[in-house]
Amino acid sequence: GLSAYDASILVSDKVIADYFEQVAEGRDGKLAANWVINNLLGKLNETGQDIDESPVSPAQLGAILDLIKSGDISGQIAKELFEIVWAEGGDPARIVEERGMKQVTDTGAIEAAVDEVIAANPDKAEQAREKPNMAGWFVGQVMKATGGKANPQAVNQLVREKLGIEG
């Protein structure tokens, strides 16, 4: 469930509570709370606006959460999407489709990027085999190469397999 702190913020104001309830309905409450508190209220605070002036409706924020849950977008892409919806409005799913923001889950495409990064950095590949925590560097490079669109879990798994790192 929610932490006492999160719950206290969400019930501190009836308008915030109503907004949160609309976003959370039928969704992961903790994820909804995180987004309402950290992203939405954070941005409203930054811009000096109240929640009833929010350019992002509960339906739009809910749609962003649905895209995260379905694996269509990563958390990082979701933050970019939130900024676009904040500034321009629109349907989050359509924006993701039109702007090619969908997370790459196609392992063939991810595998090609992993192979490329490993081939371009044989010295680092050797080091990573000795120090498995260096695999993170490769994950970062693949994420950069795919514009942040590759599924990070899939990248991590493929990097470890290709480098022969256990676990």
Same domain, 78 and 158: no
Q: What does the chain look like in DSSP terms, one character per residue?
A: ---HHHHHHHHSSHHHHHHHHHHHTTS-HHHHHHIIIIIIIHHHHHHT--GGG-SS-HHHHHHHHHHHHTTSS-HHHHHHHHHHHHHH---HHHHHHHTT---B--HHHHHHHHHHHHHH-HHHHHHHHHSGGGHHHHHHHHHHHTTT-B-HHHHHHHHHHHHT---
The CATH number covering residue 129 comes to 1.10.10.410
User: Count of domains in the chain?
Assistant: 2
Same domain, 113 and 134: yes
Same domain, 33 and 52: yes
Return the bridge partners of 143, or none.
none
Same domain, 84 and 150: no
- Residues 74-83 have a mean pLDDT of 93
pLDDT (tens digit per residue) in 145-159: 988 888 888 899 999
Domain that holds residue 52: 4-98
Same domain, 120 and 61: no
Q: Is the pLDDT assigned to residue 167 strictly greater than 70?
A: no
pLDDT (tens digit per residue) in 8-42: 999 999 999 999 999 999 999 999 999 999 999 99
pLDDT (tens digit per residue) in 87-129: 999 999 999 999 999 988 778 889 999 999 999 999 999 999 9
